[in-house]
Chain A
Amino acid sequence: MPSSVLTRLRRLQPYLRRYKKRYVIGLTALVLTQVVGVTIPLVIRRALDRIQHSTTPLGRLVHFGPIVDGLLFLAGILLALQLGKSIFLFLTRWVLIGISRDVEYDLRNDLFRHLERLDARYYTENRTGDLMAKLTNDLAAVRNIVGPGIMYSANTVVLGVLAIAVMLYMDPRLTLLALLPLPLASLLVKFFGQKIHERFEKIQALYSELTEKVRESLAGVRVIRAFCQEEAERRSFDRMNGDMVGRNKGLIWISSFLWPGLALLFAASTLLIMVVGGWQVVRHDITVGTFVAFTMYLMYLIWPIIALGWVTNIIQRGLASLGRLWKIFEAEPDISDREVPEHPLNEIRGDIEFRNLTFSYNGSPILKDINLRIPAGTTVGLVGATGAGKSTLASLIARLYDAPAGAVLVDGVPIREIPLRTLRESIGFVPQDTFLFSETVRENIRFGKPSATERDVERAAETSHILPEIGGFPKGFDTMVGERGLTLSGGQKQRVAISRAVLRDPRILILDDALSHVDTYTEEAILRHLTRIMAGRTTLMISHRVSTIRHADWIIVLRHGEIAEQGTHEELLALNGYYADLYSRQLIEEALEKEA
């Protein structure tokens, strides 16, 4: 085995070591299975020889009774041996395959735990679909090394050694002859297995294209119909569909050949035994029993020899997958507690400051030279066009992305020096894209504080003005949300998300356009509640609407990543700039809404 293979396999060591004892048990059982198993043809040989011997003229002289008793005894031995073998076989499978599932379980847990540590940047660079594929397909491939890979390798070695030893002991020449075609079988499986895999991959690639084609035709249905392209679409789908058949033919050809081909190779072995072994029986070199035992050992060897080729493919694929899984493990989050000093801040008042903050995701700056202080306990409104940098500014406070060192401070401390946990615990964040989980309304609300009481949950629901609606849901707070449950409207989702944030009783509340799908009347009610609850706490409200933020202590207008205007509502109106314009639009919109 090349050394790179070993280093790659070494990664699994900590996982395998955990089950060392069970491996010992499983492998012992495997050896015992085959030790016992290999004696079974010998017993049959003995029985056949005994029968044959007694049918010879000389044998007929022996009394009938003892022979029958002897046969009964041999049959009993046979059953006893097989019982032993069956028990060991059960143990082997149960333990060894069981371990592979345990390792899979451990790996999956560890992967998930690791994913929980990785930051937002990682998830923008790695698509969910790709990660999912690794967590399913690659994990399965690795599991196949650990379970069947190890079990069948061991099985092939043990049974191969034992069966061949017994065959050599019975007749070396016949053994070598009978085994002659078998290495070919291993090669056949390995070669064809690889070819099948390659062709299969190619078919999968075409299959993805076909899937994409279908998706596109369905998603673009309006254009297709408007341009009368149904027939053309059908034709082009038909072409791809036909290509699929064509490419599959290449695979079918090989896969149809493999099993009959293997059967043919084993038939060749059988043939050699029939001819050479038969001739040896005629010459009295071996007995009929030995002759038959040979054919039985051949049957025994079929699967281990097939497995040899199969296992090498499994291991190859597993190693490639192992590499991909380890890429996940090797990814380290940029955002961590690296810079947290020994005695960090462990309580936050809620004073936020941006100092000469310039920030970019990659390349052109999203935020430019922001200087702003939000004293603890104040409410600040943030407005500006899409793309002005509002959400980015908010996400920097919660360290979803890291601003340059020292550019963002909370309570006068650079946020990189505050433990992530402490920082995020004191923030109630309502992100722009409301993301709820497929759980009950209650679980979603107390997402950030599982210890919350029923009363807390209700109060949080009341704050975001969703309590009456929850009462109308089929199962109240126990109603499932999402695809498998109730589909909430945009406004309902936003309000659940607000409850979720408020329930944590945060020192800092960030609402990133969190009321955009809520009507103005409800918005007013929510804002009233929030003002009461957030008294003495820091609130940052991002909005497109003036109504949301007009009562804020201080309002910031962001434009192209810079602070363009700031002041109170009245001051900004007097400025007659962007804010004033936004306000007049809102008034028109309201008037339009009132038009019957």
Chain B
Amino acid sequence: MPDGFHEEEILGKAYDGRLMRRLLGYLRPYKAVVFFALAAIFLFGLLQVVPPYLMMVEIDRYLDPAGRGRVPAFFLHFLSPHPLTGILQIALVFFIPTVVITFVLQFAQSYAMQLVGQKVMYDIRNQIFSHLQQLPMSYYDRNPVGRMVTRVTTDVDVLNDLFASGVVAIFGDFFTLVAITGIMLAINWKLALMTFSVLPLIVLVTMAFRRAVRESYRRIRIAIARINAYLQEHITGMTVLQLFNREAASYEEFEQINRAHLDAYKDSILAYGLFYPAVEFLGVLAIAIILYRGGVEALSGTLTIGAAVAFIQYSQRFFRPIQDLSDKYNILQSAMASSERIFKLLDTSAVVHDPAAPRTIEKLRGRVEFRSVGFGYQADHRVVEDISFTIEPGETVAVVGHTGAGKTTLTSLLLRFYEPQEGELLLDGVPIRELSRSDLRRNFGLVLQDPFIFSGTIASNIRMGTPGISDEQVREAARRVNLLPFIEALPHGFDEPVKERGATLSVGQRQLLSFARALAHDPSILILDEATSSVDTQTEILIREGLRTLMENRTSLVIAHRLSTIQNASKIIVMHKGRIREVGTHQELLARQGIYFKLYQLQYKDQELPVTEAASRAGNSMPELAS
């Protein structure tokens, strides 16, 4: 996915309340699970304080005779006076249940939140995908496919981090902090406050680190994007690079970009290298304070050894969440950038609306009418103008014209991919505007110049997802376009897997498959954009037969590239520069010696030669190997 290598925005805001509220909205369906996870993490936070406390009790009650007087009354009564029994009691009654419950809570919380993360991703992905399915064709014209794919995939993944490890973890860290603060204050508030005096230093160091790392991360991300873009481009253009003897010069350029990346990383290594030792030092500073001040108090009998030990352990657990909090910053920042892009897509509204009360149609007879239709992709530039013609039910009309004459636009308008700026299109006398889009399109069969094959099987490509097309009908459609022998020769027959970009099918087979697809849907009106690619004689004959079957007794609008098709058409419409210039049958138009006559000489005359000749000449879409 080359699109991924060009980061659209390097960094954005870390927090945006509006975006955040909207994001949190996605948690609503899983409220119960989220509350459960929150409750679990709340308990988890509280339980974090228990093990050091138990150690304190053990030391004071049994290990240091001087501390016995200050053991909380509950434990004093509960615990056996005999040391071994008492220690085992602490272990079995308190310690083991605590760590087991902690384990369960931590596991449950993590599982629950990651699951919610997955579900939220599922919801958002579905929402974006559905939304894309509804956006007007003009949106697709403006946005490259790669970018839209990124919205559904990469951008959503980033959000997962926020839900799976971000939101709840922040609460977890917070609960732990509160609980430890509380218990330290409860044991000895003076010593607690003194220990907390290290806190501002930690916050300062963390902030300084944050700033340094943010700057170097920004540079790293830019550098990585540049390295990837450079590589991508120069690998693609390696031949040009070599032709122009650019090896040395490009190597130097690459080295420079690579160097910028290295330098940025060295800066971040420096920041991390300083941060961890600094935090460790501050942690030991807290221990030194506890040992000295705690020692003094212990000597004067206001603090026990057990409490001093508990303090040491608490101080270590206390600083960790503060460091964690700073890690969450990155997650938050990326999530904001991604959600902004996602919401922008979701807020793009579909311009074409179906009528509030659409006219319902059953099976159409198939009369098509264009009435002074004018249309341009941009408001100020018409691609087609003043188009008027009719196709009677069952009639085949061929549209011919040079490249860019506006032929494909006509079919797009008929399928209502776009709305004409002027005039009207009618089906069986009903303006297509008054029909619902799905009702309208159900009556059409579309065969594209480059038949689009979806990943799936032969059968799934014929049936598409349309319910009500039986296996028998799929088979019948394949048979009628002469594809059956080929399909039956495949190892898995109709279930043979095919890919859009795979090589299972030849050009001709792809075309026949798309004929079968249209035929299976038995449309009232066929829209056909004939392929120009060359095929061998055998296939050409099959395709001609297939086309005949397809158009039989069916209103057909064909953008024709085959002489045989044109000759069989009841009417030929000649488009030139966006307008209809000539209308008539093949013979009439030839006699007129106008545009059609010239087009005929350019495009169709050769096809009067033997089929093999035509095949070898007409082929413009066979890629040359060297290119």
Q: Which residue of B lies closest to A64 (CB)?
A: B299
Q: Across the interface, which residues of B come within 8 angstroms of A279, CB to CB? A: 83-84, 87
Q: A216-B455, A260-B102, A278-B62 are in contact. Are A51 and B295 (CB under 8 A)?
A: yes
CB-defined interface of B104-125 with A at 8 Å, one 1/0 digit per residue? Answer: 1011001100110011011001
Is B245 part of the binding interface, using a Cβ–Cβ cutoff of 8 Å? yes
From A64, A119, A215, A299, name the one whose CB has the most chain B CB atoms within 10 angstroms.
A215
Q: Across the interface, which residues of B come within 8 angstroms of A207, CB to CB? A: 153
- Of B23-31, B127-135, B328-336, the stretch lying at the interface with chain A is B127-135
From A94, A274, A596, name the one whose CB has the most chain B CB atoms within 10 angstroms.
A274
Q: A215-B145, A437-B237 are in contact. Are A500 and B244 (CB under 8 A)?
A: yes
Is A264 part of the binding interface, using a Cβ–Cβ cutoff of 8 Å? yes
Q: Across the interface, which residues of A come within 8 angstroms of B619, CB to CB? A: 385-387
Is A11 part of the binding interface, using a Cβ–Cβ cutoff of 8 Å? no
Q: Give min CB distance, A416 to chain B, whole Å.
A: 16
Interface set, chain B 1-33, CB cutoff 8 A to A: 1-2, 5-6
Contact B625 A232 (CB under 8 A): no
Is B587 part of the binding interface, using a Cβ–Cβ cutoff of 8 Å? no
Contact B153 A214 (CB under 8 A): yes
Contact A592 B598 (CB under 8 A): yes
Contact A274 B624 (CB under 8 A): no
Q: Which residue of A lies closest to B95 (CB)?
A: A271
Contact B239 A483 (CB under 8 A): no
A385 partner, pick from B438, B445, B581, B617, beta carbons under 8 A: B617
CA A252 to CA B116, docked complex, whole Å: 11
CA A72 to CA B292, docked complex, whole Å: 6
A264 partner, pick from B103, B281, B517, B527, beta carbons under 8 A: B103
Q: Which residue of A lies closest to B160 (CB)?
A: A248
- Of A109-117, A178-186, A521-529, the stretch lying at the interface with chain B is A109-117
- Of A2-10, A97-105, A404-412, A461-469, the stretch lying at the interface with chain B is A97-105
Q: Give min CB distance, B454 to chain A, whole Å.
A: 6
| CB<8 Å pairs between A and B, sample of 5 | A116-B238, A214-B152, A227-B517, A387-B622, A438-B229
CA A257 to CA B103, docked complex, whole Å: 9
CA A144 to CA B327, docked complex, whole Å: 21
Contact B103 A261 (CB under 8 A): yes
Q: Nearest 7 pairs between A and B by C-beta?
A: A232-B465, A448-B244, A86-B277, A226-B446, A256-B110, A267-B99, A82-B284
Contact A229 B295 (CB under 8 A): no
Q: Across the interface, which residues of A come within 8 angstroms of B83, CB to CB? A: 278-279, 282
Contact B231 A132 (CB under 8 A): yes
Q: Across the interface, which residues of A come within 8 angstroms of B251, CB to CB? A: 109, 112-113, 116
Is B538 part of the binding interface, using a Cβ–Cβ cutoff of 8 Å? no
Is B126 part of the binding interface, using a Cβ–Cβ cutoff of 8 Å? yes
Q: Which residue of A lies closest to B444 (CB)?
A: A226
- Of A153-161, A189-197, A338-346, A422-430, the stretch lying at the interface with chain B is A422-430
Contact A86 B278 (CB under 8 A): yes
Contact B466 A386 (CB under 8 A): no
- Of B178-186, B256-264, B478-486, B548-556, the stretch lying at the interface with chain A is B256-264
Contact B242 A229 (CB under 8 A): no
Contact A232 B145 (CB under 8 A): no
Contact A221 B466 (CB under 8 A): no
Is B458 part of the binding interface, using a Cβ–Cβ cutoff of 8 Å? no
- Of A307-315, A393-401, A530-538, A546-554, the stretch lying at the interface with chain B is A393-401
How many of B's residues come within 8 Å of A, CB to CB? 149
Contact A214 B149 (CB under 8 A): yes
Q: A94-B269, A234-B130, A585-B602 are in contact. Are A85 and B299 (CB under 8 A)?
A: no
Q: Across the interface, which residues of A come within 8 angstroms of B103, CB to CB? A: 260-261, 263-264
Q: Across the interface, which residues of A come within 8 angstroms of B58, CB to CB? A: 274, 278
Q: A93-B273, A260-B106 are in contact. Are A223 and B448 (CB under 8 A)?
A: yes
Contact A256 B114 (CB under 8 A): yes
B126 partner, pick from A234, A270, A281, beta carbons under 8 A: A234
Contact B148 A218 (CB under 8 A): yes
Contact A236 B244 (CB under 8 A): no
A contact patch SS: helix
Contact B266 A98 (CB under 8 A): yes
Q: Across the interface, which residues of B come within 8 angstroms of A413, CB to CB? A: none
CA A73 to CA B304, docked complex, whole Å: 21
Contact B287 A78 (CB under 8 A): yes
Contact B63 A291 (CB under 8 A): yes
B602 partner, pick from A109, A123, A394, A588, beta carbons under 8 A: A588
CA A424 to CA B241, docked complex, whole Å: 11
Is A128 part of the binding interface, using a Cβ–Cβ cutoff of 8 Å? yes
Is B595 part of the binding interface, using a Cβ–Cβ cutoff of 8 Å? yes
Contact A275 B88 (CB under 8 A): yes
Q: Across the interface, which residues of A come within 8 angstroms of B100, CB to CB? A: 264
Q: Give min CB distance, B64 to chain A, whole Å.
A: 6
Q: Which residue of B lies closest to A448 (CB)?
A: B244
Contact A44 B247 (CB under 8 A): no
B63 partner, pick from A256, A288, A299, A483, beta carbons under 8 A: A288
Is B568 part of the binding interface, using a Cβ–Cβ cutoff of 8 Å? no
CA A118 to CA B269, docked complex, whole Å: 35
Is B415 part of the binding interface, using a Cβ–Cβ cutoff of 8 Å? yes
Is A244 part of the binding interface, using a Cβ–Cβ cutoff of 8 Å? yes
- Of A17-25, A52-60, A168-176, A472-480, the stretch lying at the interface with chain B is A52-60
Q: Across the interface, which residues of B come within 8 angstroms of A115, CB to CB? A: 235, 238
Contact B269 A97 (CB under 8 A): yes
Q: Give min CB distance, B37 to chain A, whole Å.
A: 11
Interface set, chain A 242-277, CB cutoff 8 A to B: 242, 244-245, 248-249, 252-253, 255-257, 259-261, 263-264, 267, 270-271, 274-275
Q: Across the interface, which residues of B come within 8 angstroms of A233, CB to CB? A: 129, 133, 465
Contact B625 A270 (CB under 8 A): no
Contact A424 B244 (CB under 8 A): yes
B106 partner, pick from A238, A263, A425, beta carbons under 8 A: A263
Contact B281 A83 (CB under 8 A): yes
Q: Give min CB distance, A402 to chain B, whole Å.
A: 13
- Of B308-316, B423-431, B504-512, B557-565, the stretch lying at the interface with chain A is B308-316
CA A261 to CA B59, docked complex, whole Å: 27
A275 partner, pick from B91, B106, B121, B247, beta carbons under 8 A: B91
Contact A429 B243 (CB under 8 A): yes
Q: Give min CB distance, B219 to chain A, whole Å.
A: 13
Contact B305 A52 (CB under 8 A): yes
Contact B125 A241 (CB under 8 A): yes
Q: Across the interface, which residues of B come within 8 angstroms of A129, CB to CB? A: 1-2
Q: Give min CB distance, A458 to chain B, whole Å.
A: 19
Is B200 part of the binding interface, using a Cβ–Cβ cutoff of 8 Å? no
CB-defined interface of B276-294 with A at 8 Å, one 1/0 digit per residue? Answer: 1110110011011101101
Is B576 part of the binding interface, using a Cβ–Cβ cutoff of 8 Å? yes
A232 partner, pick from B132, B149, B466, beta carbons under 8 A: B466
Is A1 part of the binding interface, using a Cβ–Cβ cutoff of 8 Å? no
Is B452 part of the binding interface, using a Cβ–Cβ cutoff of 8 Å? yes
CA A47 to CA B242, docked complex, whole Å: 71
Contact B624 A387 (CB under 8 A): yes
Is A432 part of the binding interface, using a Cβ–Cβ cutoff of 8 Å? yes
Contact B236 A435 (CB under 8 A): yes
Q: Across the interface, which residues of A come within 8 angstroms of B87, CB to CB? A: 274-275, 278-279, 282
Q: Which residue of B lies closest to A93 (CB)?
A: B273
Q: Which residue of A lies closest to B599 (CB)?
A: A592
A54 partner, pick from B299, B442, B448, B581, beta carbons under 8 A: B299
Q: Give min CB distance, B519 to chain A, whole Å.
A: 12
Is B570 part of the binding interface, using a Cβ–Cβ cutoff of 8 Å? no
Is B196 part of the binding interface, using a Cβ–Cβ cutoff of 8 Å? no
Contact B602 A592 (CB under 8 A): yes
Q: Across the interface, which residues of B come within 8 angstroms of A299, CB to CB? A: 316
Q: Which residue of A lies closest to B145 (CB)?
A: A218
Q: Which residue of B lies closest to A230 (CB)?
A: B133
Q: A226-B441, A260-B103 are in contact. Are A67 and B269 (CB under 8 A)?
A: no
CA A427 to CA B240, docked complex, whole Å: 12
Q: Across the interface, which residues of A come within 8 angstroms of B269, CB to CB? A: 93-94, 97-98, 101
Contact A78 B448 (CB under 8 A): no
Q: Across the interface, which residues of B come within 8 angstroms of A483, CB to CB? A: 6
Is B360 part of the binding interface, using a Cβ–Cβ cutoff of 8 Å? no
Q: Across the interface, which residues of B come within 8 angstroms of A222, CB to CB? A: 137, 417, 446, 448, 452
